[in-house]
Amino acid sequence: MELNDLINHTSEWLKGTGPNSEIIISSRIRLARNLAKHPFSHRAKKPGQEEVLRSVEAGLADCHALKAALFLKLADLDEVDKQFLIERHLMSRDHALGDDHKGLAISDREIISVMINEEDHLRMQALQSGFNLRQAWQILDALDDELAAKVEYAFSNEWGYLTACPTNTGTGLRASVMAHLPALVMTKQINKVLQAIAKLGLTARGFYGEGTEAVGNFFQISNQVALGHSEDELIENLERIIRQVIEHEQNARDAMSRQDRMRLSDRIGRAFGTLQSAYIISSNETVDLLSSVRLGVDMDIVKDIDRSAVNELFILIQPAHLQKLEGKKLSSAERDVKRATLIRSKLIGNSHP
Amino acid sequence: MELNDLINHTSEWLKGTGPNSEIIISSRIRLARNLAKHPFSHRAKKPGQEEVLRSVEAGLADCHALKAALFLKLADLDEVDKQFLIERHLMSRDHALGDDHKGLAISDREIISVMINEEDHLRMQALQSGFNLRQAWQILDALDDELAAKVEYAFSNEWGYLTACPTNTGTGLRASVMAHLPALVMTKQINKVLQAIAKLGLTARGFYGEGTEAVGNFFQISNQVALGHSEDELIENLERIIRQVIEHEQNARDAMSRQDRMRLSDRIGRAFGTLQSAYIISSNETVDLLSSVRLGVDMDIVKDIDRSAVNELFILIQPAHLQKLEGKKLSSAERDVKRATLIRSKLIGNSHP
């Protein structure tokens, strides 16, 4: 597998299947790990970083889940490549800054990715489509067990796994879901829901995680602390709250459908029509309109286009993806034209709602 | 022919053919005539009006051009019928007010219509598609000659044809064209053009004539005076100025096409997409969007939909037309839904620009 092959396949987490996939796009488990007897990344010197990268790569290459994986060195990538990987949710923005012996491993279908020498020596994630934290956890837990037999983790009997930032110490686990909550936004209930989530010890972030805005009515909801509970307890707690969020969103959708389905159909139909016929379109406008179309698919108002095609468009319309597709650098104005062309080609032929 | 049959046919003037039909929708000649020895309409008593109606109807029924005509008495029509006829440009708003022995004759394909007992005893018009004032004049001149042999017109050797309002005295002629000037509006040159027109003794009005606003970038341009020149001179003068207006609009279209065809295509494409996919749409929004689509057809940006279909939609989406199509009274909110349904049914199946 090559980096440039990724764009030709739909990532596993975008398939639009799995439990509650009409509201929960994807589920993600991340583990932070560090090697024993090596300074944390931000204190490490170059030779030490190089050694960490080498031994982690060697260990990962031996693991069952990463047999066919793509191993990348950040130093080999240009800016568009890095942005492309961030857009696909395969690595963090921080990982793209500086390239001192940073590595990235990506498994088949992009289910697992592992950042090496990010804030921690290892940041491993598993992504699944729909509300499926258990499955993501099983996948990552298996990889973690396998890898633990090959490298020595920094672990304290008192604190658990040791990490660069104390909020990750303990389990090193962050569990999160990407929720699509357009009805809660439209009915202006979203702030109430987000406040309740915060009180329960969870955080809601934007489409690209920490520090990003909620575009397209997407909210990434995750646990705040990793310490004091087992992995199962942390996941169960998140699951319980997410089930409530799903119920609220579903109720809001039902109410809109009952009270004014025609106005909702109009909004969704116009969004679909605009996407099918624009010749110039910004990223922000696209994401807003795609959010309406996705809601239309989920509420059976838009037919003949499947959820995975809409999900995939959210990823493909991003700047680095457009440049990868075009095979060259594009200015912002050129991207707005390329984006509209791409969307038309993907949506036309699919009949109208 | 029955009143309700009209809606099933496209009027001759909406065919979208004829000279310069990419800019000039239609050409219209109107003649004002009164019968000798009868008081003008606003001074007439009921029995006198009845007599005028009877003798004009008898005269018209004998004329070649009105052999298969529909003869209506306004007193027999309900409010929706009257509004319907106004929307089709077959009679004036004034003619719908009060119904004291008012009549209306409509020829085959709606080429000719004659209002009886409007401001004048007779207001006859001929409509043609495109920039074709000569053809309209020939048609109406022939009818006028034929009718003059059957009824006696009020005529003065000094003043010409006598009319209720002195601005019509003389020839009784008003020549007008319905011009579609979106590029002059978009490029903000329209006011300069309208001011020049006014200085040359012409008037520009909205889609429904006197006292109406210019919606959808349509301007009805006509002569102001009917006295002091022959019919041919009046028509020639209007033609000369309209040729200049056409040239200005064409130059503005060419410039937009040269400078930013992509942005123009985007605007037109989005208008088409919205019309194809809305479920609720107001009359004003529709006319604005149809104006863009019509420009797209004229500039070969929108393909696979013909000009006559777009022209017809401008007429069909009006309130009384929607109610005629539905076969019952509709509230404003119901009309917005019916309008969207009608537009979708007419535009879908036609491929995207």
**pLDDT for A212 beyond 60:** no
Q: How far apart are CA B222 and CA B40, in angstroms?
A: 24
Mapped onto helix, strand or coil, the DSSP state of residue B215 is coil
**pLDDT for A352 beyond 70:** no
CB-nearest partner of B270 from A262, A263, A278:
A278
Residues of B whose CB is below 8 A from A344: 352
Mapped onto helix, strand or coil, the DSSP state of residue B9 is coil
* Tokens standing for residue A322: 């457009």
* Tokens standing for residue B311: 């022209």
Residues of B whose CB is below 8 A from A282: none
**B33 neighbors B87 (Cβ within 8 angstroms):** no
CA B158, B161, B166, B172 dihedral sign is negative
Give domain B3-176's CATH superfamily.
Glutamine synthetase/guanido kinase, catalytic domain (3.30.590.10)
Q: Do A280 and B262 touch (CB under 8 A)?
A: yes
Q: Do A276 and B278 touch (CB under 8 A)?
A: no
How far, rounded to the nearest angstrom, does the alpha carbon of residue B97 sit from its chain's CA centroid? Answer: 19
- The predicted pLDDT at position A209 comes to 57
- The predicted pLDDT at position A250 comes to 98
- The predicted pLDDT at position A211 comes to 55
Neighbours of A67 (CB within 10 A): 10
Residues of B whose CB is below 8 A from A353: 277
Q: Do B278 and A273 touch (CB under 8 A)?
A: yes
Q: How far apart are CA B293 and CA B291, in angstroms?
A: 5
Q: How far apart are CA B246 and CA B260, in angstroms?
A: 21
Per-residue tens of pLDDT for chain B, all 353 residues = 789 889 988 899 999 999 999 999 999 999 999 999 999 988 888 899 999 999 999 999 999 999 989 999 999 999 999 999 999 999 999 999 976 799 999 999 999 999 999 999 999 999 999 999 999 999 999 999 999 999 999 999 999 999 999 999 999 999 999 999 999 999 999 999 999 999 998 999 876 555 556 688 999 999 988 888 999 999 999 999 999 999 999 999 999 999 999 999 999 999 999 999 999 999 999 999 999 999 999 999 998 798 999 999 999 999 999 999 999 999 999 999 999 999 999 988 544 44
CB-nearest partner of A337 from B262, B279, B337:
B262
* Tokens standing for residue A71: 């191993």
Crossing angle of helices B283-298 and B332-347, in 10° steps, is 20
Q: Do B352 and A348 touch (CB under 8 A)?
A: yes
Q: Do B277 and A344 touch (CB under 8 A)?
A: no
Q: Which amino acid would we find at residue A63? A: C
The average pLDDT across A139-151 equals 97
Q: Which residue has the higher pLDDT, A100 or B19?
A: B19
Q: Which of B279, B282, B336 to mutate to test the interface with A (most CBs of A within 10 A)?
A: B279
pTM here?
A: 0.89
Residues of A whose CB is below 8 A from B272: 277
Q: How far apart are CA A36 and CA A63, in angstroms?
A: 19
* Tokens standing for residue B152: 């006696």
Q: What is the pLDDT of residues A287-319, one digit of tens each?
A: 999 999 999 999 999 987 889 999 999 999 999
CA A87, A92, A98, A102 dihedral sign is negative
CA B303, B309, B312, B317 dihedral sign is negative
Which of A18, A16, A29, A81 is closest to A290 using CA atoms?
A16
Q: Which helix (H) or strand (E) holds A24?
A: strand A24-33
| Share of residues in chain A with pLDDT > 70 (%) | 96
Q: How far apart are CA B272 and CA B276, in angstroms?
A: 6
**pLDDT for A258 beyond 60:** yes
Q: Do B277 and A352 touch (CB under 8 A)?
A: yes
What does the mean pLDDT of chain A come to? Answer: 93
**B183 neighbors B295 (Cβ within 8 angstroms):** yes
**A259 neighbors A342 (Cβ within 8 angstroms):** no
Mapped onto helix, strand or coil, the DSSP state of residue A179 is strand
* Tokens standing for residue A234: 């942390």
Q: Do B344 and A352 touch (CB under 8 A)?
A: yes
Which of A122, A118, A221, A224 is closest to A166 using CA atoms?
A224
Q: What is the pLDDT of residues B39-64, one digit of tens each?
A: 998 888 889 999 999 999 999 999 99
A349 confidence band (pLDDT: 50, 70, 90)? low
Chain B residue with CA closest to A264: the answer is: B279
d(CA A276, nearest CA chain B) in Å: 7
**pLDDT for A4 beyond 50:** yes
**B72 neighbors B3 (Cβ within 8 angstroms):** yes
d(CA A217, nearest CA chain B) in Å: 22
- Count of pairs with CB atoms under 8 A, one residue in A, one in B: 62
d(CA A188, nearest CA chain B) in Å: 23
Chain B residue with CA closest to A276: the answer is: B273
Residues of A whose CB is below 8 A from B352: 276-277, 344, 348
Q: Do A276 and B353 touch (CB under 8 A)?
A: no
**B122 neighbors B49 (Cβ within 8 angstroms):** no
**pLDDT for A274 beyond 50:** yes
Dmax (CA) of chain A = 65
Residues of B whose CB is below 8 A from A278: 266, 269-270, 273
Mean pLDDT is lowest, of A174-183, A226-235, B144-153, for A226-235
Chain A residue with CA closest to B337: the answer is: A262
Q: Which amino acid would we find at residue B131? A: F
Phi, psi of B94, rounded to the nearest 5 degrees:
-60, -35
Q: What is the pLDDT of residues B144-156, one digit of tens each?
A: 999 999 999 999 9
Q: Which of A277, A280, A334 to mutate to test the interface with B (most CBs of B within 10 A)?
A: A277
- The predicted pLDDT at position B246 comes to 98
d(CA A31, nearest CA chain B) in Å: 46
For chain B, the helix, strand and coil percentages under 3-state DSSP, each to the nearest 5: 50, 15, 30
**pLDDT for A348 beyond 50:** yes
Q: Do A352 and B262 touch (CB under 8 A)?
A: no
Residue A235 CB-density burial (10 A; 0-12 exposed, 13-18 middle, 19+ buried):
buried
User: For chain A, how many helices (H) and strands (E)?
Assistant: 11, 10
CB-nearest partner of A278 from B269, B278, B281:
B269
